[in-house]
Amino acid sequence: MITPLRGSCRAEGGERRGTTLIPGEVRWITASGPVRVGATPPFGSTFELAYVQLPTAILGEAAQPVVADSSQSSRFPSLKARDLHLATLLCALVRARETGASDQYATSAARYLGAYLLSPHIAENRRPGGLDPAQLRAVITHMKENLHDNITLDQLAKEAGVSRFHFLRRFSASVGETPLQHLTRIRVSSACHLLAIDDEPVSQVGRRCGFPRPENFTRVFRKWVGCAPSQYRDRIRRNPGHG
């Protein structure tokens, strides 16, 4: 897996055309053969890249007992996705390695990554009463791409193609939490990533993630993370391997 920590880059190889990546976007490399990574125009610009290799055995371990082998890695729906939580994890792993984290830390992190990567695909086995995989993907994609907007239940229900009443019940059956709870989870995860990599004011980070009022951003962030956004930024930059 590769993701830019700062700047943007272009990855070529393993698919028909190259892919431009910006911070927050992750590319999985599952095909054989080399992948070349370089700067994007203007070519004098610089970037910092995180590269994390996950052993196939870890995927196999994470996949049990739901699937028979680790070939599930070939089922990733895309070689590129915007996943702020995963990008933050990769950033933390790189920083932890730089600060001399133990092998035990690396093993635990690898197992978590394996479980995280496979969980969306395991969840595609539709739960009784839940949304089908295509509906669920459409809803979550809409959430991620419109975090700064005032996302309503009616909008999400429209993405799923069902009534508001049925959407609320079926979404909760699919993911185990309400649409609002899941949206808040994504927003807080996105805020964590931006606080870790950007220097913009905390209030601006909150607005970008759908919290227009700073006091509301601080209250919700503290509830989910256990500290204020400014404290989180200070902590992860002092000790990036343990954000």
pLDDT tens by residue, 176-227: 889 999 899 888 888 887 887 778 899 999 999 999 999 999 999 998 888 8
What is the pLDDT, as a whole number, of residue 189? 81
Say whether pLDDT at 125 is over 60: no
pLDDT of residue 31: 57
Per-residue 3-state assignment (H helix, E strand, C coil) for 82-142: ECHHHHHHHHHHHHHHHCCCCHHHHHHHHHHHHHHHHHHHHCCCCCCCCCCHHHHHHHHHH
Cα separation of 132 and 124, whole Å?
A: 8
Task: Output the pLDDT for position 228.
Answer: 92
pLDDT value at residue 195: 85
Query: Hey, which bits of the chain come out as E strands?
Result: 2-6, 9-12, 19-21, 25-27, 36-39, 48-51, 80-82
Q: What percent of the chain has pLDDT over 70?
A: 77
pLDDT score of 126: 52
H-run or E-run covering 187 = helix 179-197
**pLDDT at position 154 over 90:** yes
pLDDT over threshold 50, residue 96: yes
128: CB partners within 8 A, 6+ apart: 173
- How high is the pLDDT of residue 144? 84
- pLDDT (0 to 100) of residue 10: 80
**Count, residues in the chain:** 243
Could you read off the pLDDT of 41-84 as tens digits, one per residue? Answer: 655 567 788 888 887 777 777 665 444 344 444 455 445 667 76
Look at residue 242 and tell me whether its pLDDT is greater than 70: no
Which of residues 48 and 242 earns the better pLDDT score? 48
